[in-house]
Amino acid sequence: MGEAPTFIVNDLHSENGFGLKSKGCETSTVIGDKTYLIGGTNESLEIKIYDKSTGRWVIPTVLGIEPKSCKGHSAVPVNEDRILVIKKGSTSDDCIWFLEVDTQYVREQNKEGEVVAWSKGVIGNAEKPVVISGPSGVGKGTLISMLMKEFPSMFGFSVSHTTRAPREMEKDGVHYHFTERSVMEKEIKDGKFLEFASVHGNLYGTSIEAVEMVADAGKRCILDIDVQGARSVRASSLEAIFIFICPPSMQELEDRLRARGTETEEQILKRLRNAKEEIDQGTSSHIFDHILYNDKLEECYEILKKLLGLDGSNVADHQTSPKGIDLPLDHSVSKIDNKILINFGTSELEKTSKNLIVLDVSSLKEGAPGRTRGLNVYTIDSFSDWLNGINKLS
Ligand SMILES: Nc1nc2c(ncn2[C@@H]2O[C@H](COP(=O)(O)OP(=O)(O)O)[C@@H](O)[C@H]2O)c(=O)[nH]1
Ligand SMILES: Nc1ncnc2c1ncn2[C@@H]1O[C@H](COP(=O)(O)OP(=O)(O)O)[C@@H](O)[C@H]1O
């Protein structure tokens, strides 16, 4: 890239080092020595970086799925590691994005040159995902079904991929994505999986998309995966609660597996052989936060609910949390501390009637790659009332 025309560089600087200027559907945002130009055509949001220290323009490697075309956008730096991008005139679940410029995920990529990554903002504080592991036949599926049935708006199941054949009652896309081994191996190579493992002779894996779909619906994700998978998730950037389910005895486990009647004798024996190793690992490794004994089903379910904090109070919280914001074309964005203020009132009258949206970015969390969770959104009546409130607190 050539040298930047001097007037643009001057134009981009603001006193606090964070700039916000718009040129048509292009925005420029300054973080430290770098100026991030986001925009270009209506088709895609291209990114160029001007590095003041070298005086050069760079086209970075862009990771993640970029926001689909939009009718313009606003950009504001959240802090040194990411830029908030708000799409204009888009649907409420697709208007908030982040361009990660120096997050842990970006730094971990070890790529030559500049790297940035798109991640979609997920509104609301869906609780940490829950990883449930345990030997075949212990009752994982049964307990998960009970949770999903009692709390349908709170939990979402991460639908895994597997190369094993479907059982009679299992539906593709609901219980598993039943997949050819060669297809799954290619998708693993392409980086589409958060984790995968070979279990009882078949390949099983959690795709990043499976977890993202649950997060996008604002639900708490439940993963039913084996101990190897749990270990991989533990090492990943997904912060979760890990629960291991134990049978009351090996005999009871065998009885349950046989009574379920979904496996051949050979498969049952293989699952029982593997169960010993899984129970050893599950109960002695430090992967799991909680170990639950599934003796009496109802008792075990009650303990599970308690572990997940389902005592009634946060059920209500979850259901009243905002789902999203519908941003009109005409709006302005400003930043005060950890709060981003979006104003879309056009007249003085409108400015005092819930046309101010506050986006609280003080507790952002990286979710699955490609998602930023923990965004808090609320409306306020007027800017002056809000400022008064802040002054009273400080
Ligand atoms: N690592 C990993 N394990 C999985 C995944 N999905 C399922 N499993 C595990 O694979 C094992 C076999 O699952 P399945 O064939 O449904 O049999 P079941 O455990 O007898 O119901 C269980 O331990 C599951 O927890 C996945 O996406 N990743
Ligand atoms: N606490 C329990 N007592 C008796 N049977 C149970 C209990 N929990 C589950 N089961 C039964 O055991 C079988 C295996 O349970 P399932 O949920 O399929 O296990 P997993 O998903 O861990 O392989 C099912 O037929 C289920 O109805």
Instruction: For ligand 1, atom 1, name the residue with the nearest CA.
Output: 229
Q: Is the pLDDT of residue 18 over 50?
A: no
Is residue 56 annotated as part of the catalytic site, yes or no? no
Asked if residue 147 has pLDDT above 70, the reply is yes
Cα–Cα distance, 50 to 52 (Å, whole number): 6
Q: What mean pLDDT comes out for the span 355-377?
A: 77
Tens of pLDDT along 50-60? 999 999 999 99
When pLDDT is cut at 50, 70 and 90, the band that residue 71 belongs to is confident
- Kindly write down the DSSP assignment for every residue of 145-207, as one continuous string: HHHHHH-TTTEEE--EEESSPPPTT--BTTTEEE--HHHHHHHHHTT-EEEEEEETTEEEEEE
Q: What is the pLDDT of residue 382?
A: 67
Q: Which carries the bigger pLDDT value, residue 73 or residue 14? A: 73
- Is the beta carbon of 125 within 6 A of some atom in ligand 2? no
Is the distance from the beta carbon of residue 256 to the nearest atom of ligand 2 less than 6 Å? yes
Task: Compute the mean pLDDT over every residue in the chain, rounded to the nearest whole number.
Answer: 83
Planar angle of CA 287, 293, 298, nearest 5 degrees:
130
Neighbour tally for 319: CB within 10 Å: 10
Q: Which residue type sits at 351?
A: K
Q: Which run of H or E residues covers position 377?
A: strand 371-380
Average pLDDT over residues 161-186: 96
- Higher-confidence residue of 141 and 39: namely 141
Task: Report the atom number in ligand 1 closest to the C-alpha of 160.
Answer: 27
Ligand number nearest CA of 228 is 1
Highest mean pLDDT among 4-8, 173-177, 320-324: 173-177
Regarding predicted confidence, which is higher, 212 or 297? 297
The full set of domain ranges for the chain reads 8-123+342-393, 130-307
For residue 292, the surrounding DSSP H or E stretch is: strand 290-293
Domain boundaries 130-307, corresponding CATH code: 3.40.50.300
234 is catalytic: no
Question: 220-244 in b/e burial notation, b at 16+ Cβ within 10 A?
Answer: bbbbbbbbbbbbbbbeeebebbbbb
Annotation says 167 is catalytic: yes
